[in-house]
């Protein structure tokens, strides 16, 4: 009887450990995707970010300005105009990435620091912001199907 109980406890412990490992790998996977996201946009080239996004025409993406973009094509066109106004852009994620998974849907939240130099000569811009992305697993790849990119109002 002791042997059966010990074996049962060992199996439960291993199952808990395996579940914890799987969750840890998922967080590492999304840490990597998040780092890739911020590096892509920091390059000032929307082509580098495009592979991270689903291309459905009715998806909604919230950026700093304008209020919203509908579909990747509109987002791509609009953000190229915004990016063209910068000499340099550096988006640095903070260490507060949170990953929440529900089957083939994951949402991530993270705060970041933006450092940019506009082409207009307006001097260096510095600001903190927040990013929320909803990812969907499609054909073996995680793609952003909605995002919210914003900064708090100056206080």
Q: What pLDDT does residue 15 have?
A: 36
Between CA 147 and CA 135 the distance in angstroms is 9
Task: List pLDDT tens digits, range 118-133.
Answer: 998 879 999 999 999 9
Sorted by where each begins, the domain ranges of the chain are 2-150
- Cα–chain center distance at 94: 12
Question: Helix, strand, or coil here: 101?
Answer: strand
Q: What share of the chain is helix, strand, coil (3-state, %, to 5)?
A: 40, 35, 25
Please tell me the class of the 2-150 domain. Answer: alpha beta
Q: In angstroms, rounded to a whole number, what is the distance separating the alpha carbons of residues 75 and 64?
A: 12
Listed residue (34, 47, 127) closest to 83, CA to CA: 47
- Give the pLDDT confidence score for residue 18 in this predicted structure: 37
Whole-angstrom distance, CA of residue 97 vs CA of residue 86: 27
Task: Using CA atoms of 152, 96, 105, 39 in order, give the dihedral in degrees to the nearest 10.
Answer: 80
Distance in angstroms (rounded) separating the CA atoms of residues 151 and 114: 10
Question: Per-residue pLDDT tens for 69-79?
Answer: 999 999 999 99
Predicted confidence at residue 25, as pLDDT, reads 52
Query: CA 79, 81, 86 angle in degrees (round to 5)?
Result: 95
Tens of pLDDT, residue by residue, the chain (155 residues): 444 433 333 333 333 333 333 445 568 999 999 999 999 999 999 999 999 999 999 999 999 888 899 999 999 999 999 999 999 999 999 999 999 999 999 999 999 999 999 998 879 999 999 999 999 999 999 999 999 999 998 76
pLDDT for 64 equals 84
């Amino acid at each position: 009887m002791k042997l059966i109980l010990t074996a049962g406890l060992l199996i439960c412990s291993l199952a808990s450990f395996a579940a914890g490992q799987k969750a840890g790998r998922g967080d590492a996977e999304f840490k990597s995707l998040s780092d890739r996201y911020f590096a892509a946009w920091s390059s000032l080239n929307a082509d580098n970010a495009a592979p991270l996004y689903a291309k459905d025409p009715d998806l909604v993406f919230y950026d700093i300005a304008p209020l919203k973009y509908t579909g990747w094509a509109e987002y791509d066109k609009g953000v190229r105009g915004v990016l063209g106004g910068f000499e340099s852009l550096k988006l640095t994620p903070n260490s507060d990435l949170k990953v929440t998974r529900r089957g083939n849907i994951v949402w991530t939240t993270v705060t970041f620091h933006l450092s940019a130099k506009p082409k207009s000569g307006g001097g260096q811009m510095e600001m903190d912001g927040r990013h929320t992305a909803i990812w969907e697993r499609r054909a073996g790849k995680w793609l952003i199907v909605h995002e919210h990119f914003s900064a708090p109002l100056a206080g």
